[in-house]
């Protein structure tokens, strides 16, 4: 075997390993803090020099006592006091700067991870449990960045301490120094025995912790169901089955950590006994003074401690790299469709019905300069298959959505209704065909338009309303885009470095109009703090109909060109449904509206109804014309009539 060829190839293979790539990525992401790292290292080196002053003061004081020399004693006291003051000062500087760097770098990495989670393909988010993603964001990102900071700073720090101290020891006695180094350097040889194994164990541990986080989140969010079905015993058994493997991993990791620490301590004791025995012999012979031996003993600890800490840095770095692996898995996930177009110039200029909210801060590109008007949205032979599946949910789908008109979409479960909205939202893009905008300046494919601009034109009311842990007012005005949201006391967008975000407030006139259109005035009036009330996690303080009306108020405040409704009244009682329908009628008036219909009251006044079956439009027309056609829609309508309440179900 040709070792000259094999070894370089092995080095290349190791340099391409995930651990090495993650280390390089952490290093690259930490470059903005290089000057602060340097300040920390310089402070620690100066601290070490002053600490050696304390050690040398001890040598002077012991020799002064042995020689009965008061001048040497006073000299030693002065050197010791200066050394102690300098060591304390520079240690404090290093500690403060280090805390700041940790906080800033962790916030940066977590912020990048949050943005990436919102930019990856939607199917990745749906395939991962939210609890696992939260663990990656809050736990793994922190451990990866802080672990890297600690490893980088402490490695340089301890190497500097070792170098400076060895220089001082050589000045005291080169024979004792060489013997000391022989024992002190045995510890690093143990690193390779445990490094890779520890990294694998930490990766397995983080995976298990993500599973437990997901399980706990399910238990908390599903507490009502758990109690109603007496699932507490089953839940605890599942928790035990998941937690026991984690405990075994923790024990194995601790075993290797303790083995490394015990090995380091054994090396330290061996060196200590060498210094005492060999150094003591030199003192008895009169070759060195007692003060030199005392200084050597203290300095030996200064050398041995960094070596032992280097032993601890290695497993901690494996822990950080394992955490980084879970963080960078998200970064390596492909971006969602359209994210690569945010900086691409538009082929033509387009305007909308009304000025849309600014999108410059959403990371998806700005609005651009638009001079034309959208006349229609066209699906042109669109075929779409969800990632990971083989059967298309939409096949050669073609239809037109005229601007300013209300279009309802009906069909049985699995017909592809929600998929149409997801394509319009550009959560996904078609596999074949295209969605086009007909404008006064020509026809544009939706993929040619900056994603930020397009989504700024949309108002979306999902079936499951997302309410954030903010006040009711903030939940509504967030729909208006960042340009229309001001920060308290700033009158607009907060300046750079403004600090902690204040409460978001909206334009009072627009907010009052949005509340009126959504019929929310009475709801706000009875809340304990009015618009300042937080609706609770997932809006538990509000009823289903009230949450729907908050979503409609958000859309009304946004004032979009296109309104997308995903079965907005499907789960409401009749009274709530009537209030929401009134709000829907007012909010959708004059807008291009696409609604997945569940109730008769939604479809009967639509300008056009698209009837879907197996991913294709099989019929379209008004409610009356489709009934007269006596086709698929008529059969669905007849089979879905419930009593005399006028409720019609399409699925």
CA 348 to chain centroid, in Å, comes to: 36
What is the model's pLDDT at position 334? 78
Question: What is the distance, to the nearest Å, from the Cα of residue 254 to the centroid of all Cα atoms in its chain?
Answer: 29
Which of 54, 128, 40 lies closest to 85, judged by CA? Answer: 54
Domain boundaries 13-331, CATH class = mainly alpha
Rounded CA gap, 225 and 255, in Å? 41
Pick the closest to residue 475 from 552, 398, 371 (CA basis). Answer: 552
Stated as kind and residue range, the H or E segment containing 250 is: helix 232-274
* Residue of 197, 279, 594, 257 lying closest to 407 (CA atoms): 594
Considering the domain 337-457+560-651 in this protein, what is its CATH number? Answer: 3.40.50.300
Going from the C-alpha of 613 to that of each of 88, 202, 330, 409, 413, the distances in angstroms are 77, 50, 36, 11, 9
Domain coordinates in residue numbering, the chain: 13-331, 337-457+560-651
pLDDT along the chain (651 residues), means of 10: 42 59 83 88 86 78 77 83 89 89 86 81 70 78 85 83 79 72 61 64 78 72 56 72 83 79 70 72 72 71 72 77 84 68 36 41 47 78 89 92 90 88 90 87 82 82 79 81 41 38 69 84 86 78 81 86 78 62 74 82 84 91 90 81 38 38
Report yes or no: 474 and 548 within 8 Å, Cβ to Cβ. no
| Cβ proximity of 268 and 308 under 8 Å | yes
Q: Quick one: which H or E segment has residue 562? A: strand 562-566
What is the predicted pLDDT for the residue at 359?
42
Task: Determine if residue 538 is left, alpha or beta; phi over 0 gives left, psi from -120 to 50 gives alpha, anything else beta.
Answer: left
Compute, in degrees rounded to 10, the torsion defined by CA atoms 232, 237, 241, 243.
Answer: 50
Question: And the tokens for 569?
Answer: 């009244």
Please report which residue ranges of 559-599 form alpha helices under DSSP H.
574-588
3-state secondary structure (DSSP) of residue 384 = strand
Question: CA 623: distance to chain centroid?
Answer: 46
pTM: 0.62
Coil/strand/helix, residue 631: coil
């Amino acid at each position: 075997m040709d070792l000259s060829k094999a070894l370089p190839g092995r080095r290349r293979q190791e340099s391409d390993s995930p651990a090495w790539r993650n280390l390089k990525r952490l290093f690259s992401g930490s470059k903005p803090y290089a000057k602060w790292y340097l300040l920390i290292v310089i402070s620690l080196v100066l601290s070490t020099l002053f600490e050696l002053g304390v050690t040398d003061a001890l040598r002077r004081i012991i020799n002064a006592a042995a020689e009965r020399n008061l001048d040497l004693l006073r000299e030693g006291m002065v050197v010791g006091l200066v050394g102690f003051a300098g060591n304390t000062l520079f240690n404090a500087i290093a500690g403060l700067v280090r805390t700041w760097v940790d906080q800033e770098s962790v916030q940066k990495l977590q912020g990048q991870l949050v943005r990436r989670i919102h930019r990856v393909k939607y199917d990745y988010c749906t395939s991962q449990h939210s609890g696992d993603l939260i663990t990656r964001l809050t736990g793994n990102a922190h451990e990866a960045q802080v672990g890297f900071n600690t490893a980088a700073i402490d490695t340089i720090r301890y190497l500097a301490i070792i170098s400076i101290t060895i220089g001082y020891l050589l000045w005291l006695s080169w024979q004792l120094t060489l013997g000391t180094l022989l024992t002190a350097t045995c510890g690093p040889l143990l690193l390779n025995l445990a490094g890779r194994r520890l990294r694998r164990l930490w990766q397995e541990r983080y995976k298990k912790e993500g599973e437990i986080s997901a399980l706990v989140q399910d238990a908390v969010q599903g507490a009502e169901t758990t109690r109603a079905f007496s699932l507490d015993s089953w839940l605890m058994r599942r928790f035990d089955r998941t937690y026991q493997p984690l405990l075994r991993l923790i024990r194995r990791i601790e075993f290797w950590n303790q083995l490394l620490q015990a090995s380091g301590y054994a090396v330290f004791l061996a060196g200590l006994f060498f210094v005492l025995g060999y150094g003591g012999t030199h003192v008895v012979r009169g070759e060195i003074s007692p003060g030199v031996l005392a200084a050597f003993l203290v300095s030996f600890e200064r050398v041995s401690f960094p070596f032992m800490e280097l032993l601890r840095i290695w497993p901690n770095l494996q822990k950080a790299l394992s955490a980084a692996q879970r963080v960078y898995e998200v970064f390596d996930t492909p971006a969602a469709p359209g994210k690569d177009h945010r900086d691409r110039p538009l082929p033509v200029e387009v305007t909308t019905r009304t000025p849309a909210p600014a999108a410059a801060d959403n990371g998806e590109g700005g609005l651009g300069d638009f001079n034309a008007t959208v006349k229609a949205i066209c699906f042109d032979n669109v075929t779409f298959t969800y990632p990971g599946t083989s059967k298309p949910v939409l096949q050669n789908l073609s239809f037109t959505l005229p601007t300013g008109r209300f279009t309802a979409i009906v069909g049985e479960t699995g017909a592809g209704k929600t998929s149409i909205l997801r394509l319009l939202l550009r959560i996904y893009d078609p596999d074949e065909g295209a969605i086009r905008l007909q404008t006064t300046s020509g026809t544009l494919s939706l993929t040619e338009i900056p994603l930020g601009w397009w989504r700024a034109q949309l108002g979306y009311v999902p079936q499951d309303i997302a309410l954030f842990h903010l006040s009711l007012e903030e939940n509504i005005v967030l729909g208006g885009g960042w340009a229309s949201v001001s920060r308290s006391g700033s009158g607009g967008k907060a300046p750079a470095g403004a600090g902690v975000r204040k409460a978001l407030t909206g334009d009072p006139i627009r907010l009052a109009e949005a509340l009126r259109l959504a019929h929310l005035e009475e709801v706000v009036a009875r809340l304990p703090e009015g618009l300042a009330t937080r609706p609770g996690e997932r809006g538990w303080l509000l009823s289903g109909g009230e949450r729907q009306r908050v979503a409609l108020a958000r859309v009304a405040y946004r004032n979009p060109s296109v309104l997308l409704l995903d079965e907005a009244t499907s789960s409401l009682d009749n009274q709530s449904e009537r209030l929401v329908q009134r709000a829907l009628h007012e909010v959708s008036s004059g807008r291009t509206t696409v609604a997945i219909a569940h109730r008769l009251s939604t479809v009967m006044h639509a300008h056009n109804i698209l009837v879907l079956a197996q991913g294709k439009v099989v019929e379209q027309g008004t409610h009356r014309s489709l009934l007269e056609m006596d086709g698929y829609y008529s059969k669905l309508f007849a089979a879905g009539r419930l009593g005399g309440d006028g409720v019609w179900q399409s699925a």
